[in-house]
Structure 1
Amino acid sequence: MVLEMRKMKDSGIEWIREIPEGWEVAKLKNIVSIVRGGSPRPIEAYMSDNDNDVNWIRISDTEKGSKYITHTSRKLIASGISKSRFIKRGSLILTNSMSFGEPYILDIDGCIHDGWVAFSDFKKIDKEFLYYFLTSPLAKIQFEQQVDGGVVKNLNIDKIGDTVILLPSLIDQNKIIVHLDSLTSETNSLLSKTITSIEEYKKLKQAVITQAVTKGVRGEREMKDSGVEWIKELPSDWGIIPSKYLFKNSDTKKINGDEQLTASQQHGIITQKYYTELTGSKVVLANKGLDDWKHVEPFDFIISLRSFQGGLEMSETTGCITWHYIVLKPCRQIYSYYYKWLFKSEIYIRALQRTCNFIRDGQDLRYSNFVQVPLFEPPLEEQKGIADYLNGKCAEIDKLIAKKEQLVKELEGYKKSLIYEFVTGKREV
């Protein structure tokens, strides 16, 4: 038996080319209604932690790879509902700011802020089919071309409405939905297990770091009361020292020939040019106001805007960094790589956070915060031993994490290609 080839036709759109006969091409605004969310101001005045209040749906309530939003971490009081937009369970919504163009279906009732749009009044299209289309590369490419803004990118309703979509019959849409639900369910299960495994490895890494920087790596030994709030016991031959006696606040101005540096949680202190090569992000080199920039040398530590979230960064290069950052220079003999690990430990970061009343990441940490947290001072030789151990052990864990992260990329790529092939008619159910 010879199977008939599916008949195709020209879509009339150059970048889409052929589509199956019987399929239509439409703009999103012609087949659905699109409305934007709203945010009461000032937002904190309307927030609540009372479970009886209305769900306040934020982008942070989404889970990577998930189709549904099932819970919220914050609630909205009743007087805020009229200043926002209330959406029923089962509604399809889309991010239109920051991580724009990500669709979700609500498994709860709630209010959405102005970083979301919601769809209703579906004509010729099933909501679930639209969800899959919006996750496809065909939609993502259009969003990327339409997006406004520089650092903070966003999509407005008009641009979302101009998105071109392919429409099979409702019967065919339903077949595609059932097929993709089955296929993506298997992929999502693998993704979920892999992501959970990555998180477990990251927790293991932090546990290894904390154990080593607070207890050493010499096995059982005599311990003593530390006398500080954030760690109960230390090895008996370790010192506790005010941090100002280990690191001074350096205001040395940049010198001729200094390359501009940037602070990155992932890559540490590196030149801005190298950061651009690694990440593809465009960093504009400053050409004014450089007189106030600070000189940085290898083994200096930097307090940056992200230090509140992810600890301090150690420089391994010479250059200059913006005056907004604090440059810490060792003022007595230490093995800097030990302190590199200590400053990245969760136990130290939590201690640093307790020195201020920050309510969000990105606010300034100052030298006055840093000096409120006393530091450990193991014998110099042991500092080196701990650092060497962590360099090796954490490299092993990082390799395992990298393999899992590569698997996540491959699974996500496979899922996207599946969705693309079915919602564009390249594959037939």
Structure 2
Amino acid sequence: QQSLVDNLKKYKRGAVDGLLAQKIKFPTSDTWEEMIISDLFTPISDKGHSDLTVLTIVQGTGTLPRDSVDRRISYDKSNTNTYKRVVENDFILHLRSFEGGLEIANSEGIVSPAYTILRASRKISPKFYYAYFRSYWFISNKLRIAVEGIRDGKSINMDTFWNIKIPYPSLSEQIQIAEYLQVIDLKLTNAEKTLENLMNIRSGLMQQFFI
């Protein structure tokens, strides 16, 4: 079961990068238009919403209510009026984006003012661009040109970032790719749940052996 999980993870990485680099194509694939990020997304800095839920970023998951996350994250509640409002499917350029890509807002709320919020100015499939913005292809081939500094001193040059060229496939193809990747995600999630259950059973049996 562990091998199945590992193989599905490898398959997903290969599928994501292959599709987004257009090395793998659907029969209905067409030539992709390219746009700079600023033509496709608009920066949002909507503050003064301290009544909304404070969200935190979990890499690979998106945003979650900060109080629901099982880790201690301190923040000054008196400063939440300076936090930025996000709505569902906004993209978030955060402090570790140089290594993990952008995250997505799963719900309305407020996030750290240190983050840059991107909201689509054209019709898109958020799930397609979430996969794209977190792919090795984007981080290594696109985002890297905007990264400055070394080690933990790394930051992203925003002038360069907004001028990065990214693909803009037809909306139907965006949706097709997103749905295909969702199928892989579902298989991986089910395999991981099965593995977790087997590990729990094994742990219980081992405890009984030593009673």
TM superposition score category, shorter chain reference: 0.7 to 0.9
1:219 to 12, 27, 39: 27
1:347 to 111, 122, 137: 137
Say whether residues 1:290 and 2:86 are aligned partners: no
Say whether residues 1:269 and 2:56 are aligned partners: no
1:303 to 79, 86, 93: 93
2:115 to 306, 325, 332: 325
Counterpart residue type for residue 376 of structure 1: P
Please give the secondary structure, in 1, of the residue aligned with 2:77: coil
Say whether residues 1:202 and 2:2 are aligned partners: no
Contact 1:298 1:317 in 2 (8 A): yes
Q: CA deviation at 1:302?
A: 0.2
Say whether residues 1:392 and 2:173 are aligned partners: no
In the aligned structure 2, how far is the partner of 1:361 from the partner of 1:195?
Answer: 33
What is aligned with 1:83?
none
In the aligned structure 2, how far is the partner of 1:270 from the partner of 1:245?
Answer: 28
Larger RCO of the pair (alpha carbons < 8 Å, separation 6+): 2
Identity %: 22
CA RMSD of aligned residues (A): 3.1
Distance change in 2, residues 1:410/1:298 (3 Å) = closer
Contact 2:2 2:195 in 1 (8 A): yes
Please give the secondary structure, in 2, of the residue aligned with 1:333: coil
Distance change in 2, residues 1:315/1:252 (3 Å) = same
* Aligned pairs for 1:15-414 within 5 A: 194-215=1-22, 218-219=26-27, 236=31, 238-255=32-49, 257-273=51-67, 276=68, 279-281=69-71, 286-330=76-120, 332-337=121-126, 338-351=128-141, 352-356=143-147, 359-360=150-151, 363-368=154-159, 370-371=161-162, 373-378=164-169, 382-383=170-171, 385-414=172-201
Q: CA deviation at 1:361?
A: 6.7
Q: CA deviation at 1:363?
A: 4.7
Distance change in 2, residues 1:291/1:307 (3 Å) = same
Q: Deviations for 1:272-318, whole angstroms, at most 9, x for unmatched residues?
A: 24xx1xx5445556412223211223332101233223221222432
Please give the secondary structure, in 2, of the residue aligned with 1:396: helix
In the aligned structure 1, how far is the partner of 2:3 from the partner of 2:149?
Answer: 29
Q: CA deviation at 1:360?
A: 4.3
Equivalent pairs counted in the alignment come to 208
Please give the secondary structure, in 1, of the residue aligned with 2:8: helix
Counterpart residue type for residue 347 of structure 1: W
Contact 1:260 1:285 in 2 (8 A): no
Contact 2:145 2:160 in 1 (8 A): no
Q: CA deviation at 1:205?
A: 1.9
Q: Deviations for 1:168-204, whole angstroms, at most 9, x for unmatched residues?
A: xxxxxxxxxxxxxxxxxxxxxxxxxx33322221222
Larger radius of gyration: 1
In the aligned structure 1, how far is the partner of 2:2 from the partner of 2:149?
Answer: 29
In the aligned structure 2, how far is the partner of 1:294 from the partner of 1:362?
Answer: 24
Distance change in 2, residues 1:362/1:201 (3 Å) = farther
Please give the secondary structure, in 2, of the residue aligned with 1:305: coil
User: Of Structure 1 and Structure 2, which has the larger fraction of its residues in helix?
Assistant: 2
In the aligned structure 1, how far is the partner of 2:94 from the partner of 2:134?
Answer: 13
In the aligned structure 2, how far is the partner of 1:333 from the partner of 1:372?
Answer: 17
In the aligned structure 2, how far is the partner of 1:411 from the partner of 1:361?
Answer: 38
Contact 1:217 1:386 in 2 (8 A): no
Contact 1:308 1:362 in 2 (8 A): no
Query: What TM-score, normalized to structure 1?
Result: 0.42
Distance change in 2, residues 1:314/1:246 (3 Å) = same
In the aligned structure 1, how far is the partner of 2:139 from the partner of 2:180?
Answer: 21
Please give the secondary structure, in 1, of the residue aligned with 2:146: coil
Counterpart residue type for residue 295 of structure 1: R
What is aligned with 1:143?
none
Q: Deviations for 1:103-156, whole angstroms, at most 9, x for unmatched residues?
A: xxxxxxxxxxxxxxxxxxxxxxxxxxxxxxxxxxxxxxxxxxxxxxxxxxxxxx
Counterpart residue type for residue 46 of structure 2: T
